[in-house]
Amino acid sequence: MWLYILLFIATFLTMEFMAWFTHKYVMHGFLWSIHKDHHKKDHDSWFERNDLFFIFYAVISITCFVTWSEGFFDFGLAIGGGILAYGIAYFFVHDIFIHQRFKLLRNANGRYAKAVRRAHKMHHKHIGKEKGECFGMLVVPWKYFKA
């Protein structure tokens, strides 16, 4: 049981690295054509092409759940659950808290909340795919905690 809990936590923490890596080298790299609409101020619709990355990780998580339920992969529940938990956290922090796709969490003004907003604002300061910074989501560089 402890192994599954540790694997769940390790997967959740690894997903922060995966989000950073994918954002920096894939979204701002060869798949910029999918991600660039996220850096525009005005959107044609509520759905962004950038949401395809969210769907990609959801498919990986679901695949882990299915392989576990079919008895092919003992750790599928822990890994799929860690990916799902990170996806939920990412959705709340990025889509709801920062970008206000749903009008919730507007009054969160704690130290961490302010640092997350500052770091993400610095990321969106750059409209193009070059010269980006702050590619992670939940782990915020220390300099953004300072006023």
Q: Which two tokens stand for residue 16?
A: 């922060």
For residue 110, report the phi and psi dihedrals to the nearest 5 degrees: -70, 170
Which pLDDT belongs to residue 76? Answer: 95
Distance CA 147, CA 145 (A): 6
Alpha-carbon distance values, 143 to 19, 97, 99, 108, 116 (Å): 20, 20, 21, 20, 11
Which pLDDT belongs to residue 63? Answer: 97
Which pLDDT belongs to residue 101? Answer: 76
Measured in residues, the chain has a length of: 147
pTM: 0.87
Which pLDDT belongs to residue 35? Answer: 87
Which pLDDT belongs to residue 66? Answer: 97
Which pLDDT belongs to residue 125? Answer: 77
Per-residue pLDDT of the chain (147 residues; tens, 9 = 90+): 899 999 999 999 999 999 999 989 999 999 998 888 887 776 666 678 888 899 999 999 999 999 999 999 899 999 999 999 999 999 998 888 887 877 777 777 889 888 888 888 888 777 777 777 778 888 888 888 885
12 touches 125 (CB < 8 A): no
Which pLDDT belongs to residue 147? Answer: 58
Which pLDDT belongs to residue 109? Answer: 82
